[in-house]
Structure formats: structure tokens, C-alpha cells
Amino acid sequence: MSNAVITMRNISKIFETEALQTHALNGVDLTINQGDYVSISGPSGSGKSTLLSLLGLLDFPTSGDYFIEGLDVTKLSLDEAAEIRNVKIGFVFQSFNLIDDLTVFDNVALPMRYYDKKPTANQIKQRVNECLAMVGITPRVSHYPNQLSGGQQQRIAIARALIAKPAILLVDEPTGNLDSKSADQVMDVLGELNHQGTTICMVTHDPRYADMAKTKLCLLDGTFLKLPSNKEIA
Ligand SMILES: Nc1ncnc2c1ncn2[C@@H]1O[C@H](COP(=O)(O)OP(=O)(O)O)[C@@H](O)[C@H]1O
Ligand SMILES: [Mg+2]
């Protein structure tokens, strides 16, 4: 049996406005297996965010095939897409997207409050603490986001993304708002999570961080560049 989490075949995305057609993605093929750590880099406008929103079912391709864990997800209703997104996808954004009025604990617990089958208070507490431990934040559960550093906030955002045990973590420029020391810590957390088995697909501008991934992909004008493998360079 294949252990592909993500399979995209010949995916294209065209944005149409009255005056303009933009081919944001042109025939993209992408396979991400369980346990992979993929980085996607490329210049501004090359299609990185478009690809990440298709991967996360926030938008749909114009053509092509897309499967998540073998399930065809190209022809879903918006409700079905939302349901699969909640269960299968963890998002981490450049701007953290934490809720300022909620404590660290409640931010991380938030997705669990929307589960079909309501978890008990104990189940929530256990899972939240587990996820905070995975990102090294445990003693700070009653703090509010603005009492913490940017790096700590991003690690909390990662804990929240992990809460539903997603099939894949989609990470968009995780270090874009961080100083280099905090950025390094966040990248260490992502590396460790992958080491423990979490499948990750990350968009980043920073070549140093792109290199930390096991598979490095580069987009240009909506198409993956064929990069020489390390062996060919050496
Ligand atoms: N909602 C949209 N409507 C029209 N054009 C868009 C939209 N989103 C992205 N684009 C265009 O698609 C191309 C790829 O954009 P994007 O995926 O945001 O690139 P990147 O994230 O690599 O900077 C760009 O030319 C951009 O202007
Ligand atoms: Mg972008």
C-alpha cells in the first residue's frame, strides 16, 4: 500500500478577473509521503501561497487531480472540504493567528471545541498539554499571547495546528515575523516534530531553512524547477 499523504497530478490554477487571466500554477505534480519534510521556495508571485491553499483545501484547482490519503478531494462541497480540512490539515501561518483574548491553553484547545464528538474536559487538558510539550511551552498555559515572545507565540500556533493529529502540517513562512534566534528555535521544533513522525510541507523564502527539509522544491512561474540532486552537484 502507498503511504502517500498528498498526491497532486497535473494541477493547474487559473485566476480570472475581467481584464486578466493569471496562470498561478501550471501542471504541478507533487507527492508527499508520510514522514516527509518538504520545503517549497521560489520568488514572489511564483505560486507558493496558491499551492499551499490548494493543499489545505482553502481553494480548488482549475484542473488536475488531488488526493489526500487516497481520497479524491477535487470535487468536494465546501462543507465536505471544511470537514476534511479540520481533521487532516494543520496550518501554521507567518502571523501566528492566535486569539489575543484567549489564554495559551484556550488557543490550543480551540479546535477541539468544534469536534463532532465533544471531548471531556480531561481529554482536552491531556491533549493540550501533550501538544504544548511537543513544542516546549508547558509552564505558560495561563498566559495570553501578547505576554509571550514572537517565537513562543509561533510555537503555540504549532501546538494548536497539531491538536487534531493532522495528516500533514502546512506551514507558510513560519519565521517571517521572527528574529533569527526565535526563528532558529521554531525551525528546531519543526525538525523535531518531523523526526517524531509529523509530515510537513513548508513554504519559506530563507534558503537556510529550506535546506533543513528532506525534500527541497522550488517554484518558478507556477511550475517546479528541476533541481540537480546533491549527488549531481558533488
Ligand atoms: N485571488 C487571486 N486573484 C488573482 N490573482 C491571484 C490571486 N491569488 C494569487 N494570484 C496571482 O497568482 C500568482 C501566484 O501568486 P501567489 O501564489 O500568491 O505567489 P507567491 O505566494 O509565490 O508569492 C501571482 O501572479 C498572483 O498575482
Ligand atoms: Mg505568498
- What are the domain boundaries of the chain? 4-224
The alpha carbon of 91 and the centre of ligand 2 are apart by a number of angstroms equal to 14
Choosing from 15, 172, 219, 225 the residue with most ligand 1 atoms within 8 A of its CB, the one to mutate for a pocket test is 15
Q: What is the pLDDT of residues 146-205, one digit of tens each?
A: 999 999 999 999 999 999 999 999 999 999 999 999 999 999 999 999 999 999 999 998
pTM for the full predicted model: 0.92
Q: What is the mean pLDDT of residues 12-41?
A: 96
Closest atom of ligand 1 to CA, residue 51:
17
Total Cβ atoms within 10 A of residue 44: 7
H or E element in which residue 84 lies = helix 78-88
Q: What is the pLDDT of residues 48-61, one digit of tens each?
A: 999 999 999 999 99
Q: What CATH homologous superfamily does 4-224 map to?
A: P-loop containing nucleotide triphosphate hydrolases (3.40.50.300)
Share of the chain above pLDDT 90, in %: 89
Strand-by-strand arrangement of the 223-224 sheet:
89-92, 168-172, 200-203, 37-41, 215-220, 223-224
